[in-house]
Amino acid sequence: MNPMDILLQYWPRLLDGTLMTIKLTLMGALIAGLISPFLALIRVQASPIAQAPLRLYVSFMRGTPIMAQLFLIFYGSGQFRPFLQEWGLWSFFRDPFNCALLTFALNSTAYQTEILRGGILGVPRGEVEAAMAIGMSRAHTLRRVVFPHAYRIAWPALGNEVILLMKASALASIVTVFDLMGRTRQVFSRSFDFSVYLWAALIYLGITAIFVLLWWQVEKRLSRHIAPHQTSRKPVKETQA
Amino acid sequence: MFELFAYGDTGWGDEILRGLAITIQLAIVTLPVGLFLGFLVAFASMSKLRALRMVGFGYTTIMRGLPEILTLFVVYNGVGLLLNMAVRWWNPEADAIDFSPFAAGVVALGMVFGAFAAEVLRGAFNSLDTGQSEAGRAIGMTPTQVFRRIQLPQMWRFALPGLGNLWINMLKDTALVSIIALNDLMRMTKVAVGVTKQPFTFYLVACLIYWAMCVLSELVLARMERRANRGIRRV
């Protein structure tokens, strides 16, 4: 079949899958974004012993395939079914969407924590001292001085992390979530037309491109107090373990 | 609980170890393929020819933007299709050839690795001191000699941290090949889960094995980095 016909015939499915991919990615990134600032603070300020469990968590999340993490949560929860049923949590773990979202949120929290930690460490000590000198409280200093600057430093790397999460969200299709990848596989198994994979690739690239543009706009806004030639338009490459 | 992982007919220890062997083989075979591709693409994106630069840029942008699992499916289904079309066109009587999952895994993971490696290598190349290459040219070295004797040995130092991260990512991405039915660590775990009905135990063990491999890789890479930087004065 002509690639165009495939698109005309199956576009509602692909659109549905695209929306699911965006939903999974944004929700996962958002949940992680809400938790990571607190964890990053612990990573910066707490005593080494208090940090140990957190470091173990981050190392585990970065050292194991996200697919294995997904299976551990989705299939692994079955082993504790009686227990989960007793606590009324079974209906949560039975749904592949919830398990995928939980996995992605947990995974992204680890990465975002490390990125934000780098951002907080990048805030010049003098800014914090100045804030204390004019009598700001600790919480006030964090909210008004440390975090705004830390987020500006971490912004490009956070954007890379969201893109990585978007790519990883394709794994949800393995546990039968109908995201873009899942819909694509479904269409392929019906039509045996290879071009649907190429359409999926185009859509993924399109999502990435739009996201990168939006992220730049925010970065520009976050950096509007800095002379334009100092802002790097290119996202800083994230080092990932 | 440990009898589940006994070595031999009674436990799953040997099956899981065999899966682990496939995973390691896949990663080790993919590494040179990906590095070679990375060098090719890096050279293309630094070429004097505009068209080649566009090809390099296009390749890295597209491959880095696609989910690895999509690349794997495209390679597994698509290259198999193309290969058979080519064989039929050449010899219509030929039997359909099977594109093995292992080969598909090597090609797909190598393509992804190559795209990321190209960016790392290009960055390393650009961090080199140009004065040394100019000095090499001035004493009459050919560009090939300059590359081999001056640039390549020093690129390594700048490229190693980035390539190390890529190796660890690739090691984790090998888990994806279990979907196209290669008997790697992940798939053998799945088989064990199917029989024993203990998914959490077995997937946790698989996670711990991957984790151990990543931590071990990090230790080795740290040593390699120390060695690569042994001649550099620290400020």
For the stretch A11-29, pLDDT in tens is 999 999 999 999 999 999 9
Check residue B24 and report its DSSP letter. Answer: H
- pLDDT of B95 > 80? The answer is no
Q: Give the count of domains, chain A.
A: 1
CB atoms within 10 A of CB B44: 21
For the stretch B78-88, pLDDT in tens is 887 788 788 88
For the stretch A59-83, pLDDT in tens is 999 999 999 999 999 999 989 988 8
B27: nearest Cα among B106, B101, B88: B106
A237 belongs to a structural domain? no
The domain that holds A40 is classified in CATH as 1.10.3720.10
A85 belongs to a structural domain? yes
Chain mean position to CA B122: 17
Q: To probe the interface with A, which of B73, B79, B182, B204 has the most A CB atoms within 10 Å?
A: B73
Alpha carbons A29 and A31: distance in angstroms, whole number: 6
Q: Which residue has the higher pLDDT, A54 or A223?
A: A54
What does the radius of gyration of chain A's CA atoms come to, in whole angstroms?
21
Rounded-to-5 percentages of helix, strand, coil across chain A: 85, 0, 15
Give all domains of chain B, ordered by start, each with its CATH number.
23-182 (1.10.3720.10)
Chain mean position to CA B234: 32
Alpha carbons B187 and B178: distance in angstroms, whole number: 5
For the stretch A85-138, pLDDT in tens is 888 888 899 999 999 999 999 999 999 999 999 999 999 999 999 999 999 999
DSSP-derived 3-state class of residue A73: helix
A48 belongs to a structural domain? yes
Q: Which two tokens stand for residue B79?
A: 């290259």
What pLDDT shows up at residue B30?
Answer: 96
Closest residue in B to A77 (Cα) is B200
Which residues does chain B have within 8 Å of residue A69's beta carbon, measured at their own beta carbons?
Answer: 207
What pLDDT shows up at residue B1?
Answer: 64
Give DSSP secondary structure letters for A126-187: HHHHHHHHTT--HHHHIIIIIHHHHHHHHHHHHHHHHHHHHHHGGGGGGGT--SHHHHHHHH
Which residues does chain B have within 8 Å of residue A239's beta carbon, measured at their own beta carbons?
Answer: 161-162, 165
Alpha carbons B187 and B21: distance in angstroms, whole number: 12
Which residues does chain A have within 8 Å of residue B186's beta carbon, measured at their own beta carbons?
Answer: 65, 67-68, 71
A166 belongs to a structural domain? yes
Range of the domain at A111: 3-230
From the list A60, A68, A181, the residue facing B67 with the nearest CB is A181
Under 8 Å CB-to-CB from B72, ≥6 apart: which residues?
B104, B105, B108, B109, B176, B177, B179, B180
- pLDDT of A240 > 60? The answer is no
- pLDDT of A187 > 60? The answer is yes
From the list B70, B78, B186, the residue facing A200 with the nearest CB is B70
**Is residue A80 within 8 angstroms of chain B, CB to CB?**
yes
Task: Assess contact for A95 and A172: CB atoms under 8 A.
Answer: no
Q: Do B214 and A240 touch (CB under 8 A)?
A: no
A238 belongs to a structural domain? no
Q: Indicate the pLDDT class of residue A227, thresholds 50, 70 and 90.
A: low
For the stretch B44-70, pLDDT in tens is 998 889 999 999 999 999 999 999 999
Task: Assess contact for B199 and A78: CB atoms under 8 A.
Answer: yes
A154 belongs to a structural domain? yes
Closest residue in B to A171 (Cα) is B69
From the list B169, B174, B190, the residue facing A240 with the nearest CB is B169
Task: Assess contact for B13 and B188: CB atoms under 8 A.
Answer: no
